[in-house]
Chains A and B, each alone.
Chain A
């Protein structure tokens, strides 16, 4: 291979995501792993895995940008970084033309980012110092309920009579869950209640007129959350391709921007508009 590739590394608190794109902004390779305690080693493994998928080696990287909590831990490939909010916005601008709200549910935090009709960031909000509505909340609850995280989506879909949880405090919610178990409520109904709680928390962070797309690991593994968000807002919420990779792809797009400062490629209409 002679054409170079552009790499985005999103070192999140929970998962590390790497995306490899070409000059036409196509995703050629990607990988996701638990970030663990050695961010650098995980990022290296993810990088090599995604490069292999793309059919490239490290010497084919034209430019790379990192993002996420561990963005400074990948000096072996790049010292240039952007915030996750910036990368998600860059991804949103590329994938969806015009105004859109991006709701990202990550392991540790949530973000609501609004893009204006020109695709520029009009504003953003992050959750307060609170696990409510984050992946950490669902992880805690899966432990309490003794069910694997990956089983939650299927269980929630089986719910007949959703349990409503009132508190936005993870500790208080756990108590509520235990109380519901004691009262004989079914696990699928409780899991749907947990999903409902997550969606409520993120929707109440901001007002949501116009198009909404959801991203992040929680969304990738629990697409039912997107359907529920659609029901709650009264209109479809977009579920993109590779929702967990959105930040990494945004970082890769920034890497491409740097290699192509005139930005001609930014004007190429995106093939993917609503996933």
Chain B
């Protein structure tokens, strides 16, 4: 293969709008925490954010903060501080990076948003173990450290079909949080506000889905790497109008790209599905690695995990429970295989890359034979790369590069 001119990533113009609303969000959180005008809740990524919005909390998402630590490549230096107090290098590197940052008095927010000095001090910590057990342990550390309550939902895992029994269970757990949260918020839950928040989340989720599905076009107008950045509002601002307004802007730009035949990767010659977490500290390198091979990573489980089709403003709490349970990460391999096969078909995928993240078993779906089963059923080749979401000590750039180049060669030669 000839040495080729390095490809640069194409800027998505809506990013400027996104940066503005993300800045507003972080400054709003900071104001809430520093002035005490609003109570602050920390919420795990698919925790009951809509309930917190409806109760008037300013909501901080520790996983979002941890991803920022990864993307700014600060995490690898901070993780050892958490390791040193007994949090193993083998557990979630979001947790260890975030706690390490707190112990070191460091936050990427301070650099990105002048005037912000620290993460917003919480009044309550709210988790949902639908992601993993680590989020509960993570909030437990802050609870002890900061003397604030940590409450949450203990979710079923490895679910084949989401049944009424599962939904009843989680619904009751969400309902049980309300009195405590009302006490901290100092207001009674207004069901109309909750209905509105859930409806807004639903609208946001539908738009985000449409954004991701623009990648069905050939060439795709957006990559997975773009998606990991542009999902920010879907993560931290779901349940708000700002997120909806943003995705309308982004969707319009991507639809225009399709009409104009503008590709995210010029000369797209293969279409790749990414299964697992991004390597946050290598987003740019990975994006360029694939672009230089004229390969587009255009769909992923990760970005699609913020699509919640079950949100229903008419039945807010029960539909929240259902949405939180239907999540990919909550499901059995039987479901996951079916899901990935549907994605292969929908996006006309030529190859799947499974990221086996050293510290995130819950998002590493290559450990129980799934890639082999999907490959046998579909004939679509797959590659497992070893790495990590936040701990770059677990990442080998040269191995990743060799593996990816060989995989794209294999796809090309297989045609």
In the complex, which residues of chain B have a beta carbon less than 8 angstroms from the beta carbon of A79?
2-3
**Contact A120 B394, CB 8 Å, known A83-B402, A129-B399:** no
**Contact A124 B406, CB 8 Å, known A80-B2, A80-B3, A82-B1:** yes
Say how far A126's CB is from chain B's closest CB, in angstroms. Answer: 6
In the complex, which residues of chain B have a beta carbon less than 8 angstroms from the beta carbon of A69?
398, 402
The listed residue (B384, B396, B402) touching A85 by CB distance below 8 A is: B402
The listed residue (A72, A81, A126) touching B399 by CB distance below 8 A is: A126
Is A189 interfacial (CB 8 A cutoff)?
Answer: no
The listed residue (B1, B381, B413) touching A81 by CB distance below 8 A is: B1
Which A-chain residue is minimally distant from B407 (CB atoms)? A124
Tell whether, in the assembled complex, residue A120 and residue B406 are in contact, meaning their CB atoms are under 8 Å apart: no
In the complex, which residues of chain A have a beta carbon less than 8 angstroms from the beta carbon of B403?
126
The listed residue (A72, A82, A83, A129) touching B386 by CB distance below 8 A is: A129
Tell whether, in the assembled complex, residue B1 and residue A120 are in contact, meaning their CB atoms are under 8 Å apart: no
Is A109 interfacial (CB 8 A cutoff)?
Answer: yes
Is B409 interfacial (CB 8 A cutoff)?
Answer: yes
Is A128 interfacial (CB 8 A cutoff)?
Answer: yes
CA distance A125 to B384 in the complex (A): 8
Is B414 interfacial (CB 8 A cutoff)?
Answer: yes
Say how far A59's CB is from chain B's closest CB, in angstroms. Answer: 22
The listed residue (B381, B407, B409) touching A82 by CB distance below 8 A is: B409
Tell whether, in the assembled complex, residue A121 and residue B413 are in contact, meaning their CB atoms are under 8 Å apart: yes
Say how far B381's CB is from chain A's closest CB, in angstroms. Answer: 6
Which B-chain residue is minimally distant from A93 (CB atoms)? B413
In the complex, which residues of chain A have a beta carbon less than 8 angstroms from the beta carbon of B394?
129
Within 8 A of B (CB), among A56-103: 69, 72, 79-86
Is B266 interfacial (CB 8 A cutoff)?
Answer: no
CA distance A82 to B409 in the complex (A): 8
Is B410 interfacial (CB 8 A cutoff)?
Answer: yes
Is B405 interfacial (CB 8 A cutoff)?
Answer: yes
Most interface-central of A80, A82, A122, A124 (chain B CB within 10 A): A124
Say how far B113's CB is from chain A's closest CB, in angstroms. Answer: 35
Is A123 interfacial (CB 8 A cutoff)?
Answer: yes
Which B-chain residue is minimally distant from A113 (CB atoms)? B406
Tell whether, in the assembled complex, residue B402 and residue A126 are in contact, meaning their CB atoms are under 8 Å apart: yes
Which A-chain residue is minimally distant from B402 (CB atoms)? A83
Mostly, the B contact residues are helix
In the complex, which residues of chain B have a beta carbon less than 8 angstroms from the beta carbon of A124?
406-407, 410
CA distance A120 to B379 in the complex (A): 14
Tell whether, in the assembled complex, residue B399 and residue A109 are in contact, meaning their CB atoms are under 8 Å apart: yes
CA distance A128 to B387 in the complex (A): 9
CA distance A121 to B409 in the complex (A): 9
CA distance A80 to B375 in the complex (A): 31
Within 8 A of B (CB), among A102-138: 109, 120-126, 128-129
Which A-chain residue is minimally distant from B408 (CB atoms)? A83
Which B-chain residue is minimally distant from A75 (CB atoms)? B3
Say how far A85's CB is from chain B's closest CB, in angstroms. Answer: 4
CA distance A80 to B407 in the complex (A): 18
In the complex, which residues of chain B have a beta carbon less than 8 angstroms from the beta carbon of A86?
405-406, 409-410, 413
Say how far B136's CB is from chain A's closest CB, in angstroms. Answer: 29
In the complex, which residues of chain A have a beta carbon less than 8 angstroms from the beta carbon of B407?
124
Tell whether, in the assembled complex, residue A120 and residue B414 are in contact, meaning their CB atoms are under 8 Å apart: yes
9 closest A-B pairs (Cβ-Cβ)?
Answer: A85-B406, A83-B406, A79-B3, A121-B410, A86-B409, A83-B405, A129-B396, A128-B386, A80-B2
Question: 15 pairs across A/B with beta carbons < 8 Å?
Answer: A69-B398, A79-B2, A79-B3, A80-B3, A82-B409, A83-B409, A84-B406, A85-B402, A86-B405, A86-B406, A120-B413, A123-B381, A123-B410, A124-B410, A129-B394
Given contact pairs A83-B405, A120-B413, A128-B386, enumerate 14 new A-B contacts (beta carbons under 8 Å). A69-B398, A69-B402, A79-B2, A80-B3, A83-B402, A83-B409, A86-B406, A109-B399, A121-B413, A123-B410, A124-B410, A126-B399, A129-B396, A129-B399
